Structure 1
């Protein structure tokens, strides 16, 4: 079974207003409410690929119930730890007169040690037949030590651990040999105390992550495409062109599609190509992709094998 774990899920409220003035009632002209959180998005993506999965995490009161119900309506089983306090609501306000967006991201509930232990107890039952995604930021009360404990459990119980977080805890987790990690280029630079990375440095540090223990590194390069590192190969696939609407969930689409297709037995090159196309499709859409344009987008794309030597890398 595949499991997704979202420590700090959210309801995202998207609104549009003509103006956004202080001390007056600003009325909206458009609104949309979506269940969100990286693992939640991956659950939806996997289900669209006809892959059953179970969503884990922390769920607080009526807002948490909304997310659980949205998952269950799509046929996704849930096993959230229920906590006091409400699952967060984030508000994204598009102001038409300014052609800009204001983002309010809330903290979410405070998680206590008993609730953390309950979640890790669920995870401790996973075995070598299972895959676990842990994606996104930690809520209040959850430290990076919890991520390390999950990584340790994956190594001990032999389940495949997929980690997507911007925290440097990723580097500490490498000793437990995670199945896949998914940094973007900015996160990779930050982990190694760089402001930006050259093409050669992207390859050097991507390889370093594999050499340090990661079985696969899926390195997102935004509009440039994606690099994949394994112990035996480095692959690059360019991203297709299109009008970007919202990049917020494209990384979740990329990761969920890639791991999901590997689970279905698709060869790694084809899985990578389709995953980047699907991630781009999400970026070109107001919500998650429905995969209807993925085959067309793939016509713009090629997968290249990179033979890297210092001073020779020119592809990205």
Structure 2
């Protein structure tokens, strides 16, 4: 089973209109509610591909209740802990002459609820996969992902970490099965400017020396680079297309990779599916449909 953990999920209120009237009234032409957060996005893409997962995390308030119902509507099995301080955040995504975002804070998660989450994680069995991704909720230290990995260390599960900065750094000593940095996150982590794929590969090798087993580097329109724990380096180019929305593309890449890896244990095919899912979501308004992923895969095969 695959478990995804989203510490600070969100309801995205997406609105579209031609222009924002500052100081006046703006009438919305189109609106939508999207239930997400990085781990939930992974679960959503997995469900679309036909792989089951359990979505873990924290919710609060009336928005938390709406969030859980929304996740159920995606066909995802939710296992969220309700906390009593604050409410699940609402992020406003404005699509006008320019794109703007107003992101909420989210609830405060105390040690009491963190302990409850640890007890839920005790249900994970050997050979399961746990995906830790996204921002950390208020009240948590930046080593929370490392604490979780330490807690499940004896279970012999595969842990995927999609985080940045100190939150990622603290996990490396526990040897995550897969991490997924992008160019900007590599630059932030190593305090450098990267101008080539070879330079990113050097950074990936340094992360491997720090403890990560496999490093999947998202290269946006250039596909992805995978440094395997056996030292093999794999590349997969992306197909061309119009980027509509980059939110969830990296999460879709993780989902596509895990979907194939779980079935075939084939790194090359897993990488290809990851790039296909990431591209398909980037070319869609939300998490991509299975049909969109299949169309991208066909175009990728034609380019081989």
TM-score by length of 1: 0.90
Hey, what does 1:226 align to over in structure 2? 224
SS at match of 1:253: helix
Hey, what does 2:36 align to over in structure 1? 36
Contact map agreement 2:54 2:79 (CA 8 A) in 1: yes
Shift of residue 48, structure 1, vs aligned partner: 1.5
Contact map agreement 1:13 1:31 (CA 8 A) in 2: yes
Hey, what does 1:89 align to over in structure 2? 90
Alignment of 1:65-214 (within 5 A): 65-84=65-84, 85-95=86-96, 99-214=97-212
Contact map agreement 2:143 2:170 (CA 8 A) in 1: no
Distance 1:103 1:74, change over 3 A: closer
Shift of residue 108, structure 1, vs aligned partner: 0.8
Question: Partners in 1 of 2:136 and 2:72 — Cα distance?
Answer: 24
Shift of residue 121, structure 1, vs aligned partner: 2.1
Contact map agreement 2:143 2:171 (CA 8 A) in 1: no
SS at match of 2:212: coil
Question: Partners in 2 of 1:18 and 1:172 — Cα distance?
Answer: 44
Distance 1:300 1:73, change over 3 A: closer
Count matched residues.
Answer: 301
Shift of residue 16, structure 1, vs aligned partner: 1.6
For structure 2, list consecutive stretches of 5 or more residues without a partner in the other structure: none
Point out the more displaced range, 193-202 or 83-92. Answer: 193-202
Note the alpha carbon deviations across 1:125-151, whole angstroms, 9 max, x for none. Answer: 323131111110001111122111112
Hey, what does 1:287 align to over in structure 2? 286
Shift of residue 93, structure 1, vs aligned partner: 1.3
Shift of residue 216, structure 1, vs aligned partner: 1.1
Shift of residue 299, structure 1, vs aligned partner: 4.4
Distance 1:158 1:267, change over 3 A: same
Distance 1:66 1:31, change over 3 A: same
Alignment of 1:55-74 (within 5 A): 55-74=55-74
Contact map agreement 1:55 1:76 (CA 8 A) in 2: yes
TM-score by length of 2: 0.93
Q: Whose helix proportion is higher, 1 or 2?
A: 2
Question: Partners in 1 of 2:190 and 2:198 — Cα distance?
Answer: 14
Hey, what does 2:273 align to over in structure 1? 274
SS at match of 1:301: helix
| Runs of 4+ that moved beyond 4 A | none
Question: Partners in 2 of 1:167 and 1:106 — Cα distance?
Answer: 21
Contact map agreement 1:134 1:163 (CA 8 A) in 2: yes
Contact map agreement 1:210 1:230 (CA 8 A) in 2: no
Point out the more displaced range, 243-252 or 197-206. Answer: 197-206
The alignment yields a C-alpha RMSD, in angstroms, of 1.9
Shift of residue 27, structure 1, vs aligned partner: 1.3
Question: Partners in 2 of 1:297 and 1:130 — Cα distance?
Answer: 29
Question: Partners in 2 of 1:18 and 1:204 — Cα distance?
Answer: 44
Distance 1:115 1:17, change over 3 A: same
Contact map agreement 1:237 1:301 (CA 8 A) in 2: no
Note the alpha carbon deviations across 1:77-127, whole angstroms, 9 max, x for none. Answer: 2111101221000001122xxx21121011111111111111122113323
Question: Partners in 1 of 2:62 and 2:264 — Cα distance?
Answer: 39
Matched, 1:259 2:276: no
Question: Partners in 2 of 1:216 and 1:249 — Cα distance?
Answer: 21
For structure 1, list consecutive stretches of 5 or more residues without a partner in the other structure: 303-316
Hey, what does 1:308 align to over in structure 2? none
